[in-house]
A and B are shown apart, each in its own frame.
Chain A
Amino acid sequence: MTHRIAFFACSTIALSSIQSLREQGLLACVVLPSQQDQGSSILEQYLIHLQLPYFRTGSKNTKANLDLLQQSQADLALVVTYNEILPSEILHFFEKGIFNLHASALPQYRGPVPLFWQLKNNEKESALTFHRMTEKVDAGEILIQQKYPIEPSDTIGTLSAKVTQIAPSLIQQLVQLIDQHGTDLPLTPQIGEGSSHPAPQQSDILINWKTMNGSEIEALTRACNPAFVGAQFIFKEAYFSLIEAEQSQQPHFGAKPGTTIHVGNPEGFIVATTDGCLRLNVIATPEGIFSGVHFANRLRIDAGETLG
């Protein structure tokens, strides 16, 4: 069976999947969101370079969008890394359905940036889920769910790369299922309440030394690297971004969380947490990206000084 697939995307994470579909002759068109953010703009440049058919949705002009989809003769739609909510008319446009690839084991971690929240919450396993899109966001029946481990060193960047690698084979599976079952797909309803997480706000990426333990701060750092540059912390009313950190066996000697315990190599720039110590390895500032020790030396942070 031949399919004409409309591919909704807003990031280069989707590029390998798009190329795979094109090579198989299945790509009808790529649909970019109306907002020209950095991710979709870079993807657009690739699409132009590769001479792939695409269009940007007009933000409120559903009729025009439907006309363009009509012209592309798409009968199936895949949504991978798309950051705008699709109107009902589009959700019901495709003869063979519209499926979203969501980067979590739905019904857990519904919402726009699931990888951030899974890393922040120190999850050890994630999944990629293809589900049929409905008006209720991330709530449709599940067609495919493939689990994969989150390694202790994973960042939102490395997890995104994993998604990029796994996605083409999952798309292949989806196409095969549609070939086999047509519209009578083996769909499974999402069971349980699950969880929903909004787009991270500044308060979500700010380190709270008084309440977060070392593992939580390290996890937040990985969740913010590189998508949010790094987890933010304050020193003398200025904001800095912690890009990489690791837990340290250094004793905190009774110092309160946030206190600088050690500055110097080879031990590093070490700060007390609620349950021990954390080594701050890489820090971004407006002047550049520095090792923790270099950063502490530049700012003349003394042992005993506290980060906010």
Chain B
Amino acid sequence: MPSSPDSTSDHFKSSLALANPAALRKALGANSPAKIERGTLQASSVQLVDTILTQPINLVHKEVKAQLTELHASLEGIFDYAGVPDDLRKRRFLHQTGVAISPQHALGTIRDVFRVSSFVRALDQAIETLKSRFDEKLHIIYPACGPLAPLALLLLIYYQSTGKYSGDDLHITFIDIQEGAVISLKKLLHVAGLDAYVKDVLLMDAMDYTQRPNENVHLILLEAMQHGFSREGQLALARHFSTMLEPNGLFLPQRVHIQAVLANPQNEFVEQWKDREVTGYESMNIDIKEERILMGTILTVDQALLKKATLIQVDKFTSLLECATLEIPELEMDRDKKVLLFCSDVEIFGEEKVREYDSGITHPLPDLSICINFIPDDKKEEDLYVKSGDRLQFFYRMNGIPGFIAMKVES
């Protein structure tokens, strides 16, 4: 373990922090956010990861949420600490494969309890699996990692502190298109004492990353999507990086299913969450869930798809992936005003999943432009008017704004 610059002080703070959340907040620098110290970061992360790896998340959700919130509050100071100017923190833009959210916004990912905990567990298991498959040092690529690389950071701190894996066992290439994210992450990895695990931190569009000669890639860690598998470049990036994997390598997440579901939006998004402390798959209201009508699976993104997918080039920026054709079922009269939802489930590795409502990335996405068995009062140019019995052909649009589009199949 690398020594802390002030190990006595850090040890004291760590002990204090573990015993007392308020002390943890103070020790992590909530009152002076520019100061981020290795010892306190290690202490809080190790305890957190230990909880995540050993306890079912439903039992420790509240505790993990509180700890991630504390961690987020302390890490908010990373921009000041790394000297990232305000403009680079807030910069957000479209690029060829989707939206690049601002580094400031990306900080929030670390508060996403189910997403972070599932990925931490899945990544740990995947590394264990890969260590049994390969004798060499594992090379992980983490594109679109953001300023905190939240799906790997905590686990690396845990490995470094517990000695489970060292920098001789694995190293990571971090890639992000946001300069503010790269500056922050470099600083954070250094402060956290993780330099030995870092192969590179690259400022670039991940689509421009090319595998170097004799460079083996054992694991790709990629989570670049928003709800309904929209807006970010997950599919394009997955296609790009999947070809770089060693034959027995792993791509996380292993599978993303997107289904078309018809639901009553009021029940779906409002009623079922009344009086719920936790929003997540396990907290969904059974009656309301049963009211839903499943149209079918639109797309499953896995290695098989990534290898065989052929795209239809529409113009300079846009290509389409043909997805499923689904029939709109008959709806009972009182069920006529249903909205089509794109619902995604993310299978990360093994049993680890991020399911509907568990995370911002799996929140069902309504498509209000598809009007089934009704004509809206305020018609819009992009509306598609369809009825039960019609067939919808779905496509996945890949450009600066990725997402699903549907077309009515004319009989």
Q: Which of B87-106 contact A (CB under 8 A)?
A: 87-88, 90-96, 99-102, 105
Shortest CB-to-CB span from B140 to chain A, Å, is: 28
Q: Is there a chain B Cβ closer than 8 Å to A186's Cβ?
A: no
Q: A259 touching B94 by the CB < 8 A rule?
A: yes
Q: A255 touching B94 by the CB < 8 A rule?
A: yes
Q: A255 touching B399 by the CB < 8 A rule?
A: yes
Q: Is there a chain A Cβ closer than 8 Å to B381's Cβ?
A: yes
Closest residue of chain A to B398 (Cβ to Cβ) is: A254
Closest residue of chain A to B105 (Cβ to Cβ) is: A302
With A and B bound together, what is the CA distance between A172 and B88 in angstroms? 58
With A and B bound together, what is the CA distance between A254 and B98 in angstroms? 10
Q: B94 touching A304 by the CB < 8 A rule?
A: yes
With A and B bound together, what is the CA distance between A61 and B315 in angstroms? 66
Contact code string B112-128 (vs A, CB < 8 Å = 1, else 0): 00000000000000000
Q: B94 touching A261 by the CB < 8 A rule?
A: yes
Q: Is there a chain A Cβ closer than 8 Å to B318's Cβ?
A: yes
In the complex, chain B residues whose CB is within 8 Å of the CB of A265: 87, 91
With A and B bound together, what is the CA distance between A266 and B85 in angstroms? 12
Answer whether A254 and B400 are a contact pair too, CB < 8 Å, given A302-B99, A304-B231.
yes
In the complex, chain A residues whose CB is within 8 Å of the CB of B87: 264-266
B101 touches which of A259, A270, A302 (Cβ 8 Å):
A302
In the complex, chain B residues whose CB is within 8 Å of the CB of A197: none
With A and B bound together, what is the CA distance between A254 and B92 in angstroms? 17
Q: A253 touching B94 by the CB < 8 A rule?
A: yes
Q: Which of A257-279 contact B (CB under 8 A)?
A: 259-267, 270
Q: Which of A180-199 contact B (CB under 8 A)?
A: none
Q: B92 touching A302 by the CB < 8 A rule?
A: yes
Count residues of chain B with CB under 8 A from any CB of chain A: 25
With A and B bound together, what is the CA distance between A261 and B400 in angstroms? 9
Q: Is there a chain B Cβ closer than 8 Å to A147's Cβ?
A: no
Q: B92 touching A263 by the CB < 8 A rule?
A: yes
Q: Is there a chain B Cβ closer than 8 Å to A22's Cβ?
A: no
Q: Is there a chain B Cβ closer than 8 Å to A303's Cβ?
A: yes
In the complex, chain A residues whose CB is within 8 Å of the CB of B91: 262-265
Q: B96 touching A253 by the CB < 8 A rule?
A: yes
Q: A254 touching B93 by the CB < 8 A rule?
A: no
Q: B317 touching A304 by the CB < 8 A rule?
A: no
Number of A-B residue pairs having CB atoms within 8 Å of each other in the complex: 70
Closest residue of chain B to A267 (Cβ to Cβ) is: B93
Q: Is there a chain A Cβ closer than 8 Å to B53's Cβ?
A: no
Q: Is there a chain A Cβ closer than 8 Å to B401's Cβ?
A: yes
In the complex, chain B residues whose CB is within 8 Å of the CB of A267: 93
Q: Which of B172-212 contact A (CB under 8 A)?
A: none
Shortest CB-to-CB span from B99 to chain A, Å, is: 5
With A and B bound together, what is the CA distance between A302 and B102 in angstroms? 9
Q: B399 touching A303 by the CB < 8 A rule?
A: no
In the complex, chain A residues whose CB is within 8 Å of the CB of B317: 251-254
In the complex, chain A residues whose CB is within 8 Å of the CB of B397: 254
Q: B381 touching A259 by the CB < 8 A rule?
A: no
Answer whether A303 and B90 are a contact pair too, CB < 8 Å, given A210-B381, A253-B400.
no
Answer whether A263 and B93 are a contact pair too, CB < 8 Å, given A303-B101, A304-B99.
yes
Closest residue of chain B to A253 (Cβ to Cβ) is: B400
In the complex, chain B residues whose CB is within 8 Å of the CB of A255: 94, 399-401
In the complex, chain B residues whose CB is within 8 Å of the CB of A297: 90
With A and B bound together, what is the CA distance between A304 and B381 in angstroms? 19
Q: A264 touching B93 by the CB < 8 A rule?
A: yes
Closest residue of chain B to A302 (Cβ to Cβ) is: B92
B93 touches which of A210, A256, A261, A266 (Cβ 8 Å):
A261
Q: B90 touching A263 by the CB < 8 A rule?
A: yes
A262 touches which of B94, B314, B399 (Cβ 8 Å):
B94
With A and B bound together, what is the CA distance between A122 and B87 in angstroms? 34
Q: A254 touching B315 by the CB < 8 A rule?
A: yes
Shortest CB-to-CB span from B327 to chain A, Å, is: 28
Q: A253 touching B399 by the CB < 8 A rule?
A: yes
In the complex, chain B residues whose CB is within 8 Å of the CB of A263: 90-93, 102
Question: Which A-B residue pairs are the 8 nearest by beta carbons?
Answer: A253-B400, A264-B91, A254-B399, A254-B317, A254-B318, A262-B93, A303-B92, A265-B87
A-B contact sample (8 more), CB < 8 A, given A261-B94, A270-B93: A210-B381, A253-B95, A254-B317, A255-B401, A267-B93, A303-B101, A304-B99, A304-B400
Cross-chain pairs A/B with CB under 8 angstroms, 16 sampled:
A253-B94, A253-B95, A253-B96, A253-B400, A254-B397, A255-B401, A259-B94, A259-B401, A261-B94, A262-B93, A264-B87, A264-B92, A264-B93, A297-B90, A303-B94, A303-B99
